[in-house]
Structure 1
Amino acid sequence: MGLVGILVGLALLIALAYRGWSVLLLAPIAALIAAAFAGEPLLAHWSQTFMGSAARFLAQFFPIFLLGALFGKLMDDSGSVTAIAGAMTRRLGARRAILAVVIAGAIVTYGGVSLFVAFFVLAPMAEALFRAADIPRRLMPAAIALGTSTFTMSALPGTPSIQNAIPMPFFGTTPFAAPGLGVIASIVMLVFGLAWLARAEASARRRSEGFGPGILADVDAAAADEIVRERATVAQEFDPAEIRHGHHAEQGPPLLAAFAPLVVVVLVNLVMSLVVLPRLDLTYLAEPRWGSTSLSAVGGVWSVVVALATAIVAVVALNLRRLSELRASMDAGANASVLPAVSVASLVGFGAVVAALPAFEVVRDWVLSIQGGPLVSLAASTNILAALTGSASGGMTIALDALGSTYMGLAAELGIDPSLLHRVAVIGSGTLDSLPHNGAVVTLLAVCGTTHREGYFHIVMVGIVGAVLGLVAVIALGSVFGSF
């Protein structure tokens, strides 16, 4: 009955979340249903297991949610994201419309700008470019997704995304784990995605299919849509409802000033990870007052936090006059982090209750028995849970909470570098999370004014198939050459 309870709870969570129910309500209810089927104490699981795990997740990662959302909002309100995207689209032009959209999205998201902020800025620019180039509107979501939601989220070393941060406390790694493999995976995803979109564009031109009728969807309406919001807040670290709060600058900064905070994020992250923190005497962290922890457990998160905080100071200093309502922008950015963080924490609490049930041993044994070794089973577990929850961050955290220590033991036994586990877990979480119910997919289609029927197939090709190919490359090369 315990296994049946897990399946019933998971089915309820998926079905009602897809219909727009809040995960804040669904996750504890689903967890209690699973516990009830197993005959476990319900209140103890809710207050101790569920809330304890959710609280630990927030304690570890809320600073990244907070600073990431705040940085994205300030970059948007200062006009910096618009300036960067506009520069890319002008320089590459309508003749290279798809490439312009992809590169613009990649630059801003690798620099730390929230995925949803990028969506709302890039969609109008992509619409203008695609209309001028007479490229079908249905390819717009895939082009934006390729630049914002694939290699810059999961593969490029040093990306400040929450997905890249989650494995660090489990594996004692940094944001730059397995950099060579990450770059290779990024190349695979980018080349495959561009090739697919070029093929789709050429096919449309042979059929004389132009941009098509209609106008761009109202981004304000998309941001205010409650169902979009509920799905979106478990997919990324920014609440779409806050996208239009604050005050957007009428004129953006010069290009160099717009780029500078993105460069700050990458450089400070690198220096903190590889130079500053390893040279500090942090033995005091082993004391009980600091949680009896270690640099390997907190260093990665610290690097990202310092990088984002420094970049926030930079964007404010460079755009103080443009941020005419700085407090309102900062309030909106801070508020935008809360619902996503708590929603993902609730998913993590659900996973903790499931992992604590006796029947979960069957699931764990099945995952570990997957042919191909620990790398393949780790990729499969993060894939499956990200797909079921519609959340790369939530699915990966559930998998690592339940199995992280097991994989670390296997890594020590088999001589596998934890950095390789890190990169496999992150890329694995960013593949099947892009199923139709994923909040980022729903939001992207809404702001582009397309339906699942029109635009989703191409998102699958660039966001799932391309990512799976990158994951296969990392597992194959990592199995032969180890982490590099």
Structure 2
Amino acid sequence: MGLLGIVCALGLLMWLSFRGWSVLVLAPLAALLACAFSGEPLLAHWTLTFMAGAAGFIAQYFPLFLVGAIFGKLMDDSGAVQTIAAAMTDWLGARRAIVAIVLAGALLTYGGVSLFVAFFVLAPMGHALFQAAGVPARLMPAAIALGTSTFTMSALPGTPAIQNAIPMPFLGTTAFAAPGLGLLASAVMLGCGLWWLTAQERRARARGEAYAPRTPFGSGASAALVRERGSTAAHFDPAEMHQGARHAGAAGRSRRALALAVAPLGSVVLVNLLAGLVLLPRADLAYLAAPRFGATAAHEVAGVWSVLLGLLAGIAVVWGLFRRRLEDVRATVDAGANAAVLPVLSVASLVGFGSVVAALPSFALVRDWIVTLDGGPLVSIALATNLLAALTGSASGGLTIALEALGSGYLQMAQAAGLDPALIHRVAVIGAGTLDSLPHNGAVVSLLAVCGCSHRESYRDIVVVSIVGALLGLLVVLLLGSLFGSF
């Protein structure tokens, strides 16, 4: 009965999430359903087990959500995001509309700009560019997804995406874990996605299919749905996109304007790298072993601190370069801070659900089955993160649930097999970024709404660039990692 309860709870979570219910309600409800099937005390698991797991996630990752959202909002309101997107489209031109949107999205998200900030900036520019080039608008969601939520989220070394930060405390790794494998996986994802999209563009032109105007994303019920669904997909609440005070001037297109706009993104990556490889390893962090700091090991926080320092540096650079263009700094910072609250609570609720499931006696059977799969810890963690991300519709939620329940076991298995934890890190993150892009995924729903497209029109292309390409990249990492280890 216990296993049946877990299956029913996951099914309820997936079904009602697809129908637009808030995960803040669904996660505890599904957890209580699993407890009821197992004959476990309901209130104890809700107020103690569930809340302990959710609170632990918030305590560990809320600083990243907060600082990341503020950085993204500052970049947006200063006009720097618009400058980068406009410069990329001007540089590549209408003839390469798809490539321009993909690369603009990749540059923004690799530099630390939130997924939804990129969505709202790239969609209007994408429409203008696709219309000028005569490319069907139905291909735009997949082009944006390829640039913003595939290789820059899970594979590219040093990405400040929350998914790349989650394994660090569990495995003692950094954002640059397995850089060579990450670069190869990124090349596979990008190459597969661009091949598919350019082939679809040629076929559309051969059929005489042209650009058709779309209704832009509006307010009301659709906005509320995007807000609830999108909150589990990134660290930015879409409702805050139109708050603050965006710079009213046109985006600069000169080389100097582009260099200034890219500078904060470069500072995020550079400081993240220096902090992780030079500053923190040489710093005296022995004080963390004191009881008042929870007897914490330095490697448990160093990775998250590196990303946090990178984002703080990005904020400082934005302020230094664009403070005159930030018309209302308080409103911008407030909007960014508010934008971090709902996402972190939503993902934490999924983590709380996973904590309850992991505490049930029947889960031991599932855990033992997963960790003893043929192929060793690499295949096991890839399968676990794939399945949990698919069921929850959230890469960050599925990844955290998998590591909360099985992280210590994977680390022990890796050490016994002589595997570098960095390899486990990269496999886990890429695995979480594959089947999470099912139709109920918050980022998919939000992206389609922002672009004015439907699942029927655009979802097939999203599947190829976000799922098929990511799975191919994962297979490359699994194969090369098994043969040569981490590099």
Interval of TM-score (by shorter of Structure 1 and Structure 2) = over 0.9
Q: Quote the offset at 1:370 in angstroms.
A: 2.6
Q: Quote the offset at 1:8 in angstroms.
A: 1.8
Question: 2:73 corresponds to which residue?
Answer: 73
Q: How does 1:114-129 map to 2 (within 5 A)?
A: 114-129=114-129
SS of equivalent residue, structure 1 residue 200: helix
CA distance in 2, matches of 1:172, 1:333: 29
1:397 partner letter: T
Question: 2:82 corresponds to which residue?
Answer: 82
CA distance in 1, matches of 2:185, 2:103: 17
Tell whether 2:246 aligns with 1:248: yes
Q: How does 1:148-227 map to 2 (within 5 A)?
A: 148-211=148-211, 213-215=212-214, 217-221=215-219, 225-227=223-225
CA distance in 2, matches of 1:184, 1:263: 21
1:416 partner letter: L
Question: 1:301 corresponds to which residue?
Answer: 304
1:417 partner letter: D
Question: Which aligned runs of 4 or more in structure 1 are off by greater than 6 angstroms?
Answer: none
CA distance in 2, matches of 1:101, 1:90: 11
Q: Quote the offset at 1:313 in angstroms.
A: 1.4
Question: 1:480 corresponds to which residue?
Answer: 483
CA distance in 1, matches of 2:294, 2:53: 15
**388-397 vs 123-132, which deviates more?**
123-132
Contact 2:217–2:452 (8 Å) recurs in 1: no
Question: 1:361 corresponds to which residue?
Answer: 364
2:5 partner letter: G
CA distance in 2, matches of 1:152, 1:14: 26
CA distance in 2, matches of 1:9, 1:104: 39
Q: How does 1:25-104 map to 2 (within 5 A)?
A: 25-104=25-104
Tell whether 2:375 aligns with 1:372: yes
Normalising by structure 2, we get a TM-score of: 0.97
- Alpha-carbon spacing, 1:338–1:224, altered in 2? closer, same or farther (3 Å): farther
Q: Deviations over 1:420-441 (max 9, x none)?
A: 0000000000000000000100
Gaps of 5+ in 1: none
Q: Quote the offset at 1:209 in angstroms.
A: 1.2
- Determine which of 448, 459, 478 is the counterpart of 1:456: 459
Q: Quote the offset at 1:398 in angstroms.
A: 0.2
Question: 1:259 corresponds to which residue?
Answer: 262
Q: Quote the offset at 1:243 in angstroms.
A: 0.4
Q: Deviations over 1:205-259 (max 9, x none)?
A: 1111111x333x3234389611111110011111000000011101246222111
Tell whether 2:423 aligns with 1:420: yes
CA distance in 2, matches of 1:156, 1:465: 17
Contact 1:223–1:240 (8 Å) recurs in 2: no
Contact 1:222–1:447 (8 Å) recurs in 2: no
CA distance in 1, matches of 2:298, 2:322: 35
Q: Deviations over 1:243-283 (max 9, x none)?
A: 00011101246222111100110000000000000001111
Q: Deviations over 1:279-312 (max 9, x none)?
A: 0111121111111111110000000111111111
CA distance in 2, matches of 1:350, 1:365: 20
Contact 1:120–1:219 (8 Å) recurs in 2: no
Question: 2:349 corresponds to which residue?
Answer: 346
Normalising by structure 1, we get a TM-score of: 0.98
Q: Quote the offset at 1:369 in angstroms.
A: 3.1
CA distance in 2, matches of 1:187, 1:12: 37
1:182 partner letter: G
2:246 partner letter: H
Contact 1:224–1:241 (8 Å) recurs in 2: no
- Alpha-carbon spacing, 1:107–1:433, altered in 2? closer, same or farther (3 Å): same
CA distance in 2, matches of 1:177, 1:223: 41
Gaps of 5+ in 2: none
Q: Deviations over 1:164-194 (max 9, x none)?
A: 0000000000000000000000000011111
**471-480 vs 30-39, which deviates more?**
30-39
Contact 1:223–1:243 (8 Å) recurs in 2: no
Question: 2:327 corresponds to which residue?
Answer: 324
CA distance in 2, matches of 1:104, 1:226: 27
CA distance in 1, matches of 2:159, 2:373: 30
CA distance in 1, matches of 2:176, 2:371: 27
**292-301 vs 221-230, which deviates more?**
221-230
**44-53 vs 170-179, which deviates more?**
44-53
CA distance in 2, matches of 1:147, 1:483: 25
2:49 partner letter: T
Q: Quote the offset at 1:29 in angstroms.
A: 1.4
CA distance in 1, matches of 2:225, 2:145: 20
CA distance in 2, matches of 1:264, 1:307: 7
CA distance in 2, matches of 1:79, 1:468: 35
Q: Deviations over 1:106-154 (max 9, x none)?
A: 0000000000100000011111111111111111011111100100000
Coordinate RMSD, CA, aligned: 1.2
SS of equivalent residue, structure 1 residue 219: coil
Contact 1:222–1:443 (8 Å) recurs in 2: no
CA distance in 2, matches of 1:67, 1:483: 30
2:447 partner letter: L
Question: 1:397 corresponds to which residue?
Answer: 400
Question: 1:387 corresponds to which residue?
Answer: 390
